Amino acid sequence: MNIDLYPSRVSNKATIKERKDPVIHSSAEGPLKQPELTSYEENGYLMIEKLFTDEEVELMIKELEKTMKDNQSRESADVIKEPGSNEIRSVFEIHKDSGFFELLSKNERIVKIAEQLLGSQVYINQSRINFKPGFKGKEFYWHSDFETWHVEDGMQHMRAVSCSIILTDNYEFNGPLMLIPGSHKWYVSCAGTTPDNNFESSLQKQEAGTPDNESLSWLTEKAGGRIDRATGPAGSVLFFECNTMHGSNGNLSPYPRSNVFFVFNSMENVIGKPYSGQDPRPEFLANREEVKPIQSVPSNSLTKQSIHY
């Protein structure tokens, strides 16, 4: 195994260290202009308003509802329900549906941005659709995705970017994603160890890999006391760096919040063995030998004519 650049859950004491990887991995041409790149590099995220049209969003919602319905009675590691209810919160691996979401995951509007940020060809490391119901959508505590992917899945470098296509207007009051600007520049090594079967429970309620209060306060102070919220109209897309500290409040409003979520990883950062060595990863994360770079499809391939392929 390679040397562990980012040890976590290895002691009873949390620590915070500077990241060892660049944030933007190339100076190659791409859809993002310099101010957008600078903003992503500084903050660790970038919201692009209405990257998809209302018509495309409508299609996505229909497909999301269909996928939710198809999975309602399926018990599987890739179908996650609300704690204490039978309501679906997420369906994973939707980029392998040989249909709409596979096509969406290859759309050049998002793939070319991921390639630009990661400086290489990319593949989908994880995908899901998320549905946060009105009234009872639960909070999700602060975490860095990279910490989990590193410790539990074996992602070696910070060279991945999450892409969240928001399908419902995100308001201040319906539990939008909250992000600590600049937090991606620091790695919080969490205290404790990974319990067995953490994957299944952590998607419902985060426990292992939970950053400590002191580190969170420090990161927020570094950000000038600012915590940002990913609000915006449906069709907007949030790109956020794999190590950006984020979380979300519950959703007390009547308005559900849903999104499509793709994690693009660099082909030069393909996942190995988990660092913890303890966690039995779900099968769909285990098969890494088949990873192939995405061949993006044209931007207009979501229109009604072309989805009946």
- Per CB under 8 A, residues contacting its own copies are 134-135, 139, 141-142, 171-173, 175, 178, 213, 216-217, 220-221, 225, 227, 229, 247, 249-250, 252-255
**Do the beta carbons of residue 269 and residue 156 sit within 8 Å?**
yes
- Token pair of 254 as six digits: 């009547």
CB of 231 to its own copies, least distance (A): 9
34's CB contacts (< 8 A; 6+ apart) are: none
CB of 161 to its own copies, least distance (A): 23
CA angle at 247 for the pair 249 and 23, rounded to the nearest 5°: 155
Q: How big, in percent rounded to 5, are the helix, strand and coil portions of the chain?
A: 30, 25, 50
The count of other CB atoms within 10 Å of the CB of residue 149 is 24
CB of 208 to its own copies, least distance (A): 17
Angstrom distance (rounded) from CA 48 to CA 110: 10
217's CB contacts (< 8 A; 6+ apart) are: none
**Do the beta carbons of residue 68 and residue 131 sit within 8 Å?**
yes
CB of 134 to its own copies, least distance (A): 8
- Residue among 249 and 278 whose Cβ is closer to its own copies: 249
- Residue among 119 and 250 whose Cβ is closer to its own copies: 250
- Residue among 28 and 252 whose Cβ is closer to its own copies: 252
- Residue among 43 and 156 whose Cβ is closer to its own copies: 43
CB of 210 to its own copies, least distance (A): 10
- Residue among 70 and 221 whose Cβ is closer to its own copies: 221
